[in-house]
Amino acid sequence: MNMLPSILQTWVVMFLVISPTLFAASVSRVDSYSSARKRHLREKVRKMFYHAYENYLTHAFPHDELKPLTKSFTDSLSELGNLKLEHLPQDYSGSALSLIESLSSLVILGNNTEFERGVLWLSDNLTFDVDARVNLFECNIRVLGGLVSAHILATDSANRLVQGSYNNQLLTLAEDLGRRFLPAFNTPTGLPYAWINLKYGVIESETTETSTSGCGSLILEMGALSRLTGDPIYESVALRALRKLWSMRSSLNLVGTTLDVTTGQWIGYSSGIGAGVDSFYEYLFKAHILFGKEDFWRMFQSAYLAVQKYFRHGPWYHEADMRTGKATYWQLTSLQAFWPGLQVLVGDIAAANSSHREFFYVWQKFGVLPERYLLDHQIIHPTEKYYPLRPEFAESTFYLYQATKDPWYIEVGESIVNSLNSYTKVEGGFASIRDVNTMQLEDHQHSFFLAETCKYLYLLFDDSFLVDRNIIFTTEGHPLPVLSSWHEKLPEAYIPANWTFPKSESQRRRRESAMTLQVCPATTLSLNHGDQQIESACHIPDVRGDHRCLSDEDCGVDSTNCRKRSCSTASYCGLWLVT
Ligand code: DMJ
């Protein structure tokens, strides 16, 4: 079943996300109504970013991350993903991780001077010749992605950045890092080890266990590195790993969460759209946008339909066994909150909106999103009660606002900003929350707070960076340009150099979504107590149980024909206005 022809799909993405003027005509009233408020909120976010950034520079730079409570630092690159804190380096003093992660945000905030200062410092001082064992996925999305994106921004003629003194040093550093990644891929399956020592390669007796996101979310950064350097090796190892991973899917087109890189066998069969898998879905689709390969689209299409069919229950997404499709865990996790953002890219805005509302409900209940929330008992998971300043909910709010210009998303953004300032701001930066019940803090400001959380909030209130730029964001929020020279499908005429995209009326009209194409396989979900419930994968209930409504927004998606219901003049949801 072909949800959308790929080129059209690409347009969907570009129109919905990249071009902030897309909905301008229909929403100018709303926009002017809220522009003063948006400016005010944007300035609040700017202050937040600088409070975090300046405290990092003062108390932690050039170490990796800031400890805001003790105003000190942690060289955490080797600790990311390393829950048991094994094989920690003896002699590693950081890679300025939070600076690397801040670079693209600085440009988005319009601070080219500080961006240049950071680029030049890294050009002169950063080295990867360090005896540190790092997580390949984390190092790829944060460091490689940060460097590649900053290199592109530094050399983009529209920005006029780093004039004269920049000789592609960040790209040289990125290539050096990419080369250090390569030994990880030297396995019988081509699936990479999860861990690599930057100086010595894969250490003896390294674990062969990795996660789906760990080996399936490398293609954007490694592909961009290949395109920039002209060396195909980085893209080809990432692609081989991705293809191998996809070949391991079940007959239901589902993947598991953990696997063995030497045998190519699954270790953990239960999976969902959250931890350990999330960015695998994201990268299938974004790789299609960036490189235009039909292959990515086909993989994504099957994977997306399987998610909607087996994981979705109304607005919620539970986990399921990849072999049987049977529900395993009924839990909402903070990481899942990226999914509505991805659905906006796909064009399933109604579905995105309905899930986003549920995340906001939980956000409001606790003030922030707990890491794990048990849907069947409506309580927080006994141990995963933390909120480490994650960006995913802000990210989806940004995408939904781009697509709809509904001022409600600005209100959601305001609520996120207020929560972050009330609960997590301390004199020395922004601290993670250890327990969302008590709002007890933890001494850690993760680098993604600078790379993503502040960036998406800023872009929600001020998207001027996106004007005339045709970009996608990596899973760590670093922008990459969609260029015809990198893209298999886009004719030169559609994407001229320098990130611009034409906005002709005929192209704008070609928005379609999986929902409008009525991709809604019927499915049977088994609930906790063994009873069965027939559910359609695209069903979204009306907001009110009695089907009364004030506007179309209050109406869901019909479960039998997957059409969006609308609000009648008598204030009832139904299909009467569908053409
Ligand atoms: C970030 O490093 C990325 O967004 C990643 O995809 C998931 N985890 C964190 C943020 O929560």
Can you give 184-224 as a three-state secondary structure string? HHCCCCCCCCCEEECCCECCCCCCCEEEHHHHHCCHHHHHH
**Residue pair 489/7 in contact by the 8 Å Cβ criterion:** yes
* Mutational test site, ligand 1, from 139, 448, 454, 472, max ligand atoms within 8 Å of CB: 448
Q: How many angstroms is it from 452 CA to the middle of ligand 1?
A: 8
When mean pLDDT is compared across 64-68, 80-84, 242-246, 531-535, the lowest value belongs to 531-535
Among this protein's residues, is 371 annotated catalytic?
A: yes
d(CA 445, CA 73): 9
Annotated active-site residue in 64, 65, 138, 452: 138
Among this protein's residues, is 278 annotated catalytic?
A: yes
Whether the CA torsion 389, 476, 404, 372 is positive or negative: it is: negative
Looking at 60-78, list the stretches that DSSP marks H as alpha helix, in order from N- to C-terminal side. none
Q: Hey, whose CA ends up nearest to atom 11 of ligand 1?
A: 390
d(CA 209, CA 215): 11
76: Cβ below 6 Å to ligand 1? Answer: no
Atom number of ligand 1 nearest to Cα 392: 11
Q: How many angstroms is it from 215 CA to the middle of ligand 1?
A: 15
- Which residues, 6 or more positions from 257, have their beta carbon under 8 angstroms from its beta carbon? 211, 212, 268, 270, 271, 275, 276, 277
Q: Give the pLDDT of residue 390.
A: 98
When mean pLDDT is compared across 79-88, 374-383, 551-560, the lowest value belongs to 551-560
Mean pLDDT of 327-345: 96
Mean pLDDT of 23-28: 34
Average pLDDT, the chain: 86
Residue 510 has pLDDT above 50, yes or no: no
Q: How many CB atoms lie within 10 A of CB 364?
A: 12
**Residue pair 50/42 in contact by the 8 Å Cβ criterion:** no
Angle at 71 between CA 67 and CA 77, to 5 degrees: 30
Q: Hey, whose CA ends up nearest to atom 8 of ligand 1?
A: 335
Atom number of ligand 1 nearest to Cα 278: 6
Annotated active-site residue in 65, 221, 282, 371: 371
Among this protein's residues, is 512 annotated catalytic?
A: no
Q: Give the pLDDT of residue 161.
A: 62
The tens digit of pLDDT for each residue in 304-326 reads: 999 999 999 989 999 999 999 99
The tens digit of pLDDT for each residue in 402-442 reads: 999 999 999 999 999 999 999 999 999 999 999 999 999 99
Q: How many angstroms is it from 494 CA to the middle of ligand 1?
A: 32
Annotated active-site residue in 101, 116, 278, 476: 278
140: Cβ below 6 Å to ligand 1? Answer: no
Q: Give the pLDDT of residue 34.
A: 76
Residue 515 has pLDDT above 60, yes or no: no
Q: How many angstroms is it from 121 CA to the middle of ligand 1?
A: 26
* Mutational test site, ligand 1, from 97, 392, 396, max ligand atoms within 8 Å of CB: 392
pTM beyond cutoff 0.85: no
Burial of 90 (0-12, 13-18, 19+ CB in 10 A): exposed
d(CA 532, CA 554): 27
Q: Helix, strand or coil for residue 310?
A: helix
371: Cβ below 6 Å to ligand 1? Answer: no
390: Cβ below 6 Å to ligand 1? Answer: yes
Atom number of ligand 1 nearest to Cα 141: 2
Residue list for the binding site for Ca(2+):
475
Q: Hey, whose CA ends up nearest to atom 3 of ligand 1?
A: 476
Q: Hey, whose CA ends up nearest to atom 1 of ligand 1?
A: 476
Whether the CA torsion 449, 450, 452, 453 is positive or negative: it is: positive
Q: How many CB atoms lie within 10 A of CB 410?
A: 19
The tens digit of pLDDT for each residue in 131-141 reads: 999 999 999 99
Atom number of ligand 1 nearest to Cα 390: 11
192: Cβ below 6 Å to ligand 1? Answer: no
**Residue pair 219/287 in contact by the 8 Å Cβ criterion:** yes
HSE-CB at 101 with a 13 A cutoff on CA atoms is 35
* Predicted confidence band of residue 162 (pLDDT cuts 50, 70, 90): low
279: Cβ below 6 Å to ligand 1? Answer: yes
Task: Name the token pair of 185.
Answer: 């891929």
Residue list for the binding site:
475
Annotated active-site residue in 101, 221, 392, 442: 392
Atom number of ligand 1 nearest to Cα 452: 4
**How many residues in total does the chain contain?**
579
391: Cβ below 6 Å to ligand 1? Answer: yes
DSSP, res 449: I
* Predicted confidence band of residue 163 (pLDDT cuts 50, 70, 90): low
Residue 278 has pLDDT above 60, yes or no: yes
